[in-house]
Amino acid sequence: MKKEEIWKKIEKIFETPERGIVSTAYDNVPYSRYMLLHNDGKNLYAKTIAESVNVDKIEKNNLSYIILGYDAESESSYLEILAETEVVMEQDTIDWLWEREDHQRFNLEEEEVLIVLKFMPKEIKLMNANDEIDKPEVIEFNG
C-alpha cells in the first residue's frame, strides 16, 4: 500500500475522538487504561487528573503503546502506536482539549489539577488494512 493511502486510512481513524487503550511500563510492570484521545493531526492528547499519573515514572520511561480505532463487529482497521509521552500543564493546551470534549465525566474537586498527556508517535502500525492477517502497514517517524 502506498504511503498516501496509509495516511488516508490513519486520518480516517483520527477523525473523531476515540477511546483507546494506553499502555505503559514502570519497573517492569505493565499498566493499561482506557483514555479518550484527541489529535491535532500529528499528536494524540488525553486529559486526566494530575493525581492519577506518576509524573516521575513517565519521565523515567516516556514510551506508551496505544491501540486506537478497533471495532470487533466490523473487523475494522485500527492503529497500534508507539509514542513518546509528555505531561503538559500549559493552560492553552488544557483549554484547547477542554473545548473539544464533553465535560460530564470531570467534576473537578477544588484541590484536583487537570493535566494533559501528549503522545508523540514514533511509529504507527495500520492493522487490518490489507488482505494479509497481522501484516501491518507501518509509518515511522524520525526525530
Question: pLDDT truncated to tens, each residue of the chain (143 aa)?
Answer: 788 888 888 888 887 778 899 999 888 889 898 998 998 888 999 988 877 777 778 888 999 999 998 776 666 788 999 999 999 989 898 888 878 776 555 565 666 778 899 999 999 999 987 766 678 889 898 75
Instruction: Quote the pLDDT of residue 74.
Output: 66
Q: How far apart are CA 138 and CA 79, in angstroms?
A: 10
Q: Please report the pLDDT score of residue 126 as a whole number.
A: 92
Using CA atoms, how far apart are residues 75 and 68, in angstroms rounded to an integer?
Answer: 13
Within 10 Å of residue 21's Cβ, how many Cβ atoms? Answer: 15
pTM, rounded to two decimals: 0.85
DSSP assignment letter at 57: H
Tell me which DSSP letter residue 41 carries: S
**Helical ranges in 37-90 per DSSP H:** 55-60
- For residue 22, the model assigns a pLDDT of 93
Q: ∠ at Cα 123 (120, 124), nearest 5°? A: 100
Residues 8/53, Cβ–Cβ less than 8 Å: no
